[in-house]
């Protein structure tokens, strides 16, 4: 890390918990999607995850972390969260709810502790990549350490992919 580059809140939390991680940086002033992030860093798409925030029928927020090429199955998410239904929050609300901006949102260190569910597709992977809490920063971390840092559980939360 260069002297100019400062640690993100997510990195400070991982350091405090003594959880090992590696970070990668890329140039980003504006929002770019996870696929472009993975391509710019030369990362395999199946190992790069995005953080999505929903609001349940109970008005509480729920956070889901899934592969960049996957889609949430909102019915599975609601079942896993134990609520009647969930819906994506409007993009304009991301910062107010999480403390992070679009394209820099991570499940690590949100401004409040929300229920977090990680895709069960992470299970068995030695390392995954998630946002580091700022645009232009990705963290490489084990799924188990990510779950420990966020208090998350693993669940089947993604839409089934059609068979080609």
The whole-model pTM stands at 0.91
Give percent of the chain above pLDDT 90: 76
pLDDT over 70 at 26, yes or no: yes
Q: What is the pLDDT of residues 81-114, one digit of tens each?
A: 999 999 999 999 999 999 999 888 999 999 999 9
- Classify burial at 85, counting beta carbons within 10 Å of its beta carbon; exposed 0-12, middle 13-18, buried 19 or more: middle
> The sheet that has 137-141: what strands, in order across it?
22-25, 137-141, 128-131
> Alpha-carbon torsion 32, 34, 38, 39, what sign?
negative
Q: What is the DSSP letter of 95?
A: H
- Residue 157 scores a pLDDT above 70: yes
**For position 2, what pLDDT does the model report?**
43
Q: Which superfamily does CATH assign the domain made up of 9-154 to? A: YbaK/aminoacyl-tRNA synthetase-associated domain (3.90.960.10)
The half-sphere exposure of 10 on its side-chain side, counting CA atoms within 13 A, is 27
Q: Which residue ranges make up each domain of the chain?
A: 9-154
**Averaged pLDDT for residues 12-39:** 86
């Amino acid at each position: 890390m260069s002297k100019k580059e400062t640690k993100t809140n997510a990195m400070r939390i991982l350091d405090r918990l003594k959880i090992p991680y590696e970070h990668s940086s890329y140039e980003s002033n504006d929002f770019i999607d996870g696929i472009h992030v993975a391509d710019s860093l030369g990362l395999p798409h199946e190992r790069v995850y995005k953080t999505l925030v929903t609001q349940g029928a109970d008005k509480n927020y729920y956070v889901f972390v899934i592969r960049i090429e996957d889609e949430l199955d909102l019915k599975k998410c609601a079942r896993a969260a134990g609520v009647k239904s969930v819906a994506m929050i409007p993009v304009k609300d991301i910062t107010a709810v999480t403390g992070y901006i679009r394209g820099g949102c991570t499940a690590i260190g949100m401004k409040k502790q929300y229920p977090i569910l990680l895709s069960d597709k992470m299970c068995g992977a030695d390392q995954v990549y998630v946002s580091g809490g700022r645009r232009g920063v990705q963290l490489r971390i084990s799924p188990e350490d990510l779950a420990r840092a966020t208090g998350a559980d693993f669940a089947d939360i993604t839409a089934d992919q059609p068979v080609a």
